[in-house]
Every structure is written in structure tokens, then in C-alpha cells.
Chains A and B, each alone.
Chain A
Amino acid sequence: MELKILHMYPDLLNLYGDRGNIIVLERRARWRGIKVEVLNFTRDKEEDIEKADIIFLGGGSDREQELLFSHIIKFRDILKDLIEENIVFLAICGGYQLLGEYYLDAYGNKIEGLSILNFYTQAEKGRLIGNILIEVDLPIYPKTLVGFENHGGRTYHNYKSLGKVIKGYGNNGKDFTEGIIYKNLIGTYLHGPLLSKNPHLADFIIKRALERKYNMEIELSKLNDEEEFLAHYRIKERILKEGGRFNISLSKRLFF
């Protein structure tokens, strides 16, 4: 089997170790004998987006996101069609915000988004920073995702969310939702190497991508994930021990 991962603007959208996700996807597929190709899509080298099985869009600094907008907007329709056709898509932080209609910055300026999905993001007072633990709404086990978030923008939407915030802020720090799920697209504020401590999510992405490509049910072979889950549970325990209020009560199934 083969898998093509399209990394969008790795040279511009590369804040906070985002490329860790590509490393994790590539290795986990390769370790299972799947042939993986990573295509770097940049302003100078526009790869054929339609060849991709997985698209990754990370976050960048404001300046870098501004720089690329005039470029990515040309591919808006292709991206939208692919998402409608169930392409597996992972968008993180700034990349997630970019999929919406607009971003309202701290000065009230409306910065245009790709309008692939109908939601918006607005800057509000204070940045939402810290470790985050969520209960995920996907058919994966364990049910938790751990990560780190750091964003000034608050996102409001009516789609299905990636999960509920147990500790942390999530989409906006108000409604206890985190991220977005639309068909096979996942958007999230869990930035950086999200998949490294959440190998179950990485496998879900690989599995969905293969199923879409080969149009059949796929059962991924098991890998030894001892180290990954050691990191997952270590930080999860820490987050649970840290002070502060829980957003939702803990259900028993959260524990291993």
C-alpha cells in the first residue's frame, strides 16, 4: 500500500514543532510497510494537491500567514472539493483558523479566511496558553488527547467538535469544545507535535486515509506504543493534578 502526505507550506507554517506530525505519520506508516511519500507544497513548488491522501496544514506567525494567503486562496476550490470528497485533512492552530470565514483581530480588522467552513475566529483579551486534556469524539481508544495550546483567537462554530475540554481552553475557553470535525477533516488548537503523544489519533488518520484510497475496510497492524503512551499518561496525570477547575466531570472510562 502507498500513502501520499501533502505538507502545506512547511517553510512558512512551521511554528512549535508542527513538523513532528509529519514525522509521526510517516514513520508509523513506514513501520507497517506502507510506502510513504511526503510532498512539500510551497509557493515555489506547487505539488498536485489532488494526489494527496492526507493533507496537513500547520500554524505560522501572523506575518507568515499573511504572506501565504494570496497564494493559498488560488487553491481554495480544490481544497474545498477534496474536503467534501472526504480527504483526510489535519489543520492545526493557525491552519485551523484559516479554514473559516474570517479572523477578527485585536484592532477590529477582518482578515479574510478561506471560507471552506462556516465559522469565524476573533481575538479576545489574553492568550489561551497551557497544557490541555480533551475527551475526544472519535472511534479511538483511549478517549483522551493531550497537547499544548497557545492562541489568542477564539473560534466559534456549530459543527461537531473534536472533543470536550477536560482541562484547558479549547476553541474559545467558554463552551468547553475543542477543535472541529467535518467529514474526514480535523481542526484543532492542540499545536505542535500533537500526534507524537497521541499515536491512536495518528493511526486513525492513517487508517481513514487508506480506507478512502483503497475503498475498503483496513485494519492496521499493531505497533508497540509503550513510549508514546508513557508520555501521554505522564502529562495527562500532570494535567489532572494541576490546580484549577475541571470543565466537565471525569467519567471513569477516561482512565486506563
Chain B
Amino acid sequence: MNLEKIRFYLALFLGRLVYFFMKTLGLDATTFPGKVALKIDPKFLTKIKDRFNRIILVTGTNGKTTTNNLIFQIVTKSGFKALGNLEGANLRTGIATTFIRDPSYYDFGVFEVDEGIFPFVFKDLKPDYVVITNFFRDQLDRYGEIDTTVEKIKGSIKDSRKQILILNADDPFVSRFSDLSNRKIYYGIGKKIREKDTEEIKESIYCPKCGKRLHYEFFNYAQLGRYFCECGFRNPDYDYYIISAEYKENKWFIHIKDGDEDLFLTFIYPGVYNLYNVVSAYSVGRVLGIDKESLKDIISNFSFRLGRLEKFNYEGYERILVLVKNPAGYNQVLDTIKDDPNEKVLLLILNDNIADGRDVSWIWDVDFEKIREDNISAIICSGTRAEDLLVRLKYAEVPLNKIVLENNLNNAILKILSFKAKTYILPTYTALFKSRKLIMKRLRNGT
């Protein structure tokens, strides 16, 4: 056994030790064991690469976790053995931890990767497939501007041609990858889904080729839509796309166009953004050679834990937990709330820890004006920057007598659950797990 191998097994062994230790103590062991392993063996990820027959990486700003979970279920339910970081720990430490938990040999590695560190993970894991969802402003204090992020990801893929890219054709940022020489598969939505359009911040409505203003036939979600430029830049042709979709009876009814064939499936999570997650995962499934009918069944029966959008029932009312982390995603969630005809209450939680982004300026790009005159009877603001939310709501002219400031998250959760009404709880990243824990605790103690 050479030194490198010894180092690897030592890292794996100590990582596992830390993992079981943390598990015993009931700690959240999603990143730290990996951190320990990477400290001992910085080449840890490179060395686990050969444990996978094929590797799929999912990156972009929004939709990574849902897409990754969808792909994981598609692969495993088709009979493959796979490993994935399904809980959204998407830095190197998270990926390493995922392996430490279940070291083995796999058909597939299915990993979501934070867009900021993608180039490094790409170099380590040399994936076979790369799925890119979209690019929105998110935590700019960590990553600099979107352009830089896009260029870095592109630069890392450029030198190797073996990857198959699965790209969102509706995002002008993503279609910038078109000039790479890799094989490319494009997905998208060929129709405007939500007719009630509201003005939202569009990340880039300028042509990446010539700099002129992009024209849009329609938008579906922030800058995602049907665009074209005088210079010829436009959506690449779809390989797989959603031709229509309707949300009713608590689920999406989706019509996918796959070549000349039509496929009808359902999906239980609301929001137009979830349509993109469905069609991207569907495209991956097709690229992997999985047949349409199986994909239809897997996607239609898909559900997963974790607050990307999680529903609880407490005292007879639906309590919905949704992660919010950037304006594009937040606006989508507000649309969903606005479209919900029920009387409801909201808990908004804004933290500014490093994983949330220390800069909370982004909440001014969220259109809270949308919920100004809605049938929302109370809004609680919480988190380390609750006051910033309060000010934002004041300037959105949401009536102040509806709003309560409660910095303490525990109290805020108790208070919001005491309402006899449909509830939306919107935490940023570091408040998500804590909120979930507190809700679960209440569920156990309560009824």
C-alpha cells in the first residue's frame, strides 16, 4: 500500500469515526466529517472518483436540490446503485461526507454542487454529465457577480470534451454554454405558464453576444423565457420541453414533448420553478437511456423530505416550510402564496450567517409589494436580520398592524403555529433546519 492510499483510508476512517460520534450526539453531521477527511487527505474527492462508474453533477443557482433528488430517484428506481448528497450539503465537505457515510462502489454518483466551487469539484470528480439549472443573483458577497460565476464554470468545462451537458435553454446565462464543443442537451418550457405576470428583477436582459437588449416573447420565471436578439442569439432548440402545464387539485399536470411523442405526468410540488426541475431531470433520464414510461411513473410519484417545500399538518391546518435564498426564488414563493385563495399567515425568517450570505441587500429585489393587499392576516418577521425584513415590508406598504417582530426563532415558530390558519414559513438557509426541528418538536408534543 502506498502512502497516498494510506492517507486516504486514514481520512476515511477518521471521517467515519467523527460521523458516528456526531450521530450519537444527535448533531447535524452533513459536512463536518468530510471536513476532517479533506484536512487529512486534500485529494480525498479525487480518490473517490473511481468508486463511481458514472458521475452526474447538478449546478446553478436555484433548483439544485430538487433536481438532484429527482435524478437520484430516477437512477435508483431504474435499478442502479447510486450515492447522492440529497440534503443539499453541496460544498466539497458535503460531498465528502456523503461518501464517508456509505463508502462503497456505485453505478452512479449524483451530486449537486454549489456554483461557486463548481470548478474545483469538476476538476476532482471529472463528471460524465453536467446539469445546469439557472443563474440568479445569490450570495454575491461570496461569489462576486453572476458573470464571473458563469465564466468560471464555463472555463472549467472548456478543456475537456467528454462531458454531456444538460442545459436550460430558457436562461440566456445558461445558453452561453452553447459554444462549448461538448454534446449538449437542451430543455425548457415552450409556453407562458402563469398568466398573471408581475414585474420582477430580471438578472440579465442583455444579449451575452452583442450586448443589445434581449427581446422576450414571454418570461416564465425571472429571466427564464423565450428570448431573441437582433444579432441572432436566441433560445437553443429544445431536445425535451414542457409544452403546457396546469396546476390544479394540489399538483401540476404536465405535458412533455419528447420528439414527436407526448407524455403526460404529474408533480406534487407547486411553483413554475418546479416545472424546470421536472423537465431537467426528465432530460437527464432520457440521456441515460431510461424509457419514457418509467420516467413518467417515477416523476409522478416523486416526493422528498427537507424544506425545499415541505408540508406539515398541525391542528388541522397545512403548515408549509419553504427555503428562500434569493430574489428569484423568493418571488416565486410569493406568487405561490398569492395564488393560494386560503386565509393564511406568514413567518419570514432572515439570517445573515455566512451560508445565508452576510449581505441582506437582496431582499430589496424581492417584490414584497405582491402581498400588500392579500388575504394574509398576520406576518411575523424573525431571524438575525428580522428588522431589515420589517423595514422592507413597511416600504412595500404592507399594513404595519399585521406585522409582528419576533427575533427569537423558537418563539416565532410557536406563535405562528398558534394561528388557526394555513401557514407559510419562509426561512433562509441557516434557519431552515432549526425551523424544521422546532416544527417537528411541536408536532410531537402537540396533538
Interface residues in chain A, defined as those with a beta carbon under 8 Å from any beta carbon in chain B: 11-12, 14-20, 23-24, 27, 43-44, 61-64, 67, 127, 129-131, 148, 150, 191-193, 196-197, 227-228, 230-231, 234-235
Contacts and interface: CB of A to CB of B under 8 A. Distances in A.
A67 B392 CA distance: 31
A23 B147 contact: no
B145 A192 contact: no
Main SS class of interface, B: helix
A228 B144 CA distance: 28
Interface string B390-401: 111011010010
Contact of A227 (B147, B365, B394, B397): B394
B228 interface: no
Nearest to A22: B364
B387 A17 contact: no
Which residue among A14, A23, A24, A63 has the maximum number of chain B CB atoms within 10 Å of its CB?
A63
B361 A64 contact: no
Interface size class of B (residues with CB under 8 A): 20 to 34
B205 interface: yes
B264 interface: no
Interface string B337-375: 000000000000000000000111111110000000000
A196 B147 contact: no
A193 B390 contact: no
A24 B358 CA distance: 22
A43 B210 CA distance: 14
A192 B359 contact: yes
A150 B140 contact: yes
Given A44-B213, A61-B146, A131 B361 contact: no
B211 interface: yes
B201 interface: yes
A59 to B, nearest CB: 10
Nearest to A152: B144
Which residue among B141, B359, B388, B405 has the maximum number of chain A CB atoms within 10 Å of its CB?
B359
B302 interface: no
Given A61-B146, A67-B211, A192 B205 contact: no
A196 B395 contact: yes
A196 B141 CA distance: 19
B145 A197 contact: no
Nearest to A31: B397
B303 to A, nearest CB: 35
